Amino acid sequence: MEFHQLRSFVATAEELSITAAARRVHLSQPALSRQIQSLEEELGVALFDRVRQRIHLTAAGRYFLDRARQMLCDAETSAQQVREQFGDGKRTIRLGFLTIFLDDLVAPAVKALRKSHPRSAVALFELSPQAQVDRLRNDELDLGLLGNLAEEDRSRFSVRSLMRNAMAAVLPEDHRLARRRQIDLKELAGDPFVSLSDAVFPGRRQFLRGICRMRGFEPVIAEECDSLPLLLAAVSGGAGVALLPAHSAKLPHSGSVFVRLKAPLVHAEVMAVHKPGADRGALAALIDHLGTVAYRMK
């Protein structure tokens, strides 16, 4: 098992598209497919189902995804620590984030930091919220971009709110309300819901229930998913409806539609999270840059 195979697998699992994943890791589609096939042969299990020109993670693929991310993150972190302590590596800020924030929030902020603090570097790690929290606790990340934190972690870490994203309904494209420009959340009271897994996105199940209770009903959660692409695929496949920040519509979501919610609007928060007292120098500057970029995104 090689790291380039793991990177190809993670990209394919997150994009659920060979074309998009190949573009992301700078490979041809046949080369990416060979890497995935080689990894599956080594593991002895199928990581993807191929159905009607679409790919979906198998149960084994879903299980392996977080572990592959962890292996990549651990390898990069260890290599950087060696460079800094025993070589001439720059002081590197380790930043964890969800893929959805890479191009319009993380990348512009990192670019701005390189101009303001040219002697500093940033190592980027695409990690689930739970993986970010675990690595922040273990001093394996300097900064995480998170949406929910348990009360215990709110008291443990320093938190700065960066932005608030309006929530939208995600519906299968053949749903009775899919052609509407906006809907009242109460209109989904009889539908099964797909939620992000609490094991990977801590607090999301309670967040969903709280939103629905504010509109007078208890949601029936039919399925939980470990990533945004998997949730979108579940909705497209007819497993139920979902609530996500409208910002998530930038992800591939063939077979599903995003529909705005009528007032009262509900928002999801994005926070910069770090150890207390660590927001000095380049890290403080990066947080400021993230805040500036987030403000412009409103």
Q: Smallest Cα–Cα separation from 189: which of 152, 168, 146, 219? A: 219
Residue 84's pLDDT is 63
Query: With a threshold of 0.75, does the pTM exceed it?
Result: no
The DSSP line for 102-160 is IIIIIHHHHHHHHHH-TTEEEEEEE--HHHHHHHHHTTS-SEEEES---HHHHHHSEEE
Residue 30's pLDDT is 92
Could you state, in order of their start, the residue ranges of all structural domains in the chain? Answer: 3-66, 75-162+269-297, 165-267
Which is it for strands 192-196 and 220-225: parallel, antiparallel or unpaired? parallel
- Could you say which architecture CATH assigns to the domain 3-66? Orthogonal Bundle (1.10)
Tokens of 102: 């890479």
CATH of domain 165-267: 3.40.190.10
Residue 126's pLDDT is 86
Residue 272's pLDDT is 96
Residue 88's pLDDT is 64
Fold agreement (3-66, 165-267): no
Residue 89's pLDDT is 60
What kind of fold does domain 75-162+269-297 have according to CATH?
D-Maltodextrin-Binding Protein; domain 2 (3.40.190)
Share of the chain above pLDDT 70, in %: 96
Name residues of the chain where pLDDT drops below 50. none
74-133 per-position pLDDT tens digit: 887 777 767 766 766 666 899 999 888 989 999 999 999 999 988 788 989 888 899 899
Residue 243's pLDDT is 96
Tokens of 153: 């972690």
Residue 79's pLDDT is 77
